[in-house]
Amino acid sequence: MTDRGSAARRPEHLSAVPDPEPGPAPGPDVATCLRDVARGDERAFARLYDLVASRVYGLIRRVLRDPAQAEEVAQEVLVEVWRTASRFDSTRGSATSWIFTIAHRRAVDRVRAEQSAAERTMKVGSASMDTPYDEVADEVAGRLERQQVRRCMDDLTELQRQAVTLAYYQGHSYREVADLLEAPLPTIKTRMRDGLIRLRDCLGVGVTAS
């Protein structure tokens, strides 16, 4: 399933056949669907939905935790993908990454909106900011098992890994991450950047690749 080599060798025409399994789909299919969606093709959108909805919903739910809110935000995101499909620029990255960027941004926006509402009404002190990040890191590490990402995450320093996971999966700002990890702001900024760079090199991510 994750053997990228055999997927790449698969004859081109086979990729047009709908995948009966609701599983992660090969990149080109998402890109092809998105291109057709940009031309107003609703059937292509339905296919795109089947390819990405579980991951979009899963990511948003991971960040927000609350299934009802996740559903609401996932709907906004997927409609946004339809609405703005023509703005996708393939020279700047893959279609999948474009969709997840929208999804993650929306999820984080929702977290921030809730936080500012909560801070206004209850003057949240340090108590609720005291997120048990070990637990988060463990959970994330557990879920990433058997994945290349996991292996690459293991190559990061402890601080890099915590900074990246607290921001990405918890929706924390780098200031909050600095508070949680009791580290200076510039250090956290730097760890986020060099952590991602190391991850990029380990995963062999290139923008033009997919």
Residues 18-77 that bind other proteins (CB under 8 A): 22, 24, 38, 40, 42, 45-46, 49, 53-55, 57-59, 61-62, 67, 70-71, 74-75
Tell me the closest approach of the beta carbon of residue 147 to other proteins, in angstroms. 6
If the CB atoms of residues 12 and 89 are measured against other proteins, the closer one turns out to be 89
If the CB atoms of residues 12 and 38 are measured against other proteins, the closer one turns out to be 38
Residues between 147 and 176 that touch other proteins (CB under 8 A): 147, 149, 164, 167-169, 171-175
Tell me the closest approach of the beta carbon of residue 137 to other proteins, in angstroms. 13
Residues between 180 and 199 that touch other proteins (CB under 8 A): 186, 188-197, 199
Q: Does 7 bind other proteins (CB under 8 A)?
A: no
Cβ 98 vs Cβ 88: under 8 Å? yes
If the CB atoms of residues 10 and 58 are measured against other proteins, the closer one turns out to be 58
Q: What does the H/E/C string look like for 15-50?
A: HHCCCCCCCCCCHHHHHHHHHHHHCCCHHHHHHHHH
Q: Does 131 bind other proteins (CB under 8 A)?
A: no
Residue 78's contacts (CB-CB under 8 Å, 6 or more residues apart) are 49, 53, 56
Tell me the closest approach of the beta carbon of residue 186 to other proteins, in angstroms. 7
Tell me the closest approach of the beta carbon of residue 133 to other proteins, in angstroms. 14
Cβ 63 vs Cβ 108: under 8 Å? yes
Tell me the closest approach of the beta carbon of residue 106 to other proteins, in angstroms. 9
Number of chain positions touching other proteins (CB under 8 A): 72
Place of tokens 């900011």: 129
Q: What share of the chain is helix, strand, coil (3-state, %, to 5)?
A: 75, 0, 25
Give the span between the Cα atoms of 135 and 146, in whole angstroms. 19
Token pair for residue 59? 């990511």
CB atoms within 10 A of CB 70: 21
Q: Does 90 bind other proteins (CB under 8 A)?
A: no
Cβ 200 vs Cβ 171: under 8 Å? no
If the CB atoms of residues 27 and 32 are measured against other proteins, the closer one turns out to be 27
Cβ 97 vs Cβ 81: under 8 Å? no
Tell me the closest approach of the beta carbon of residue 93 to other proteins, in angstroms. 5
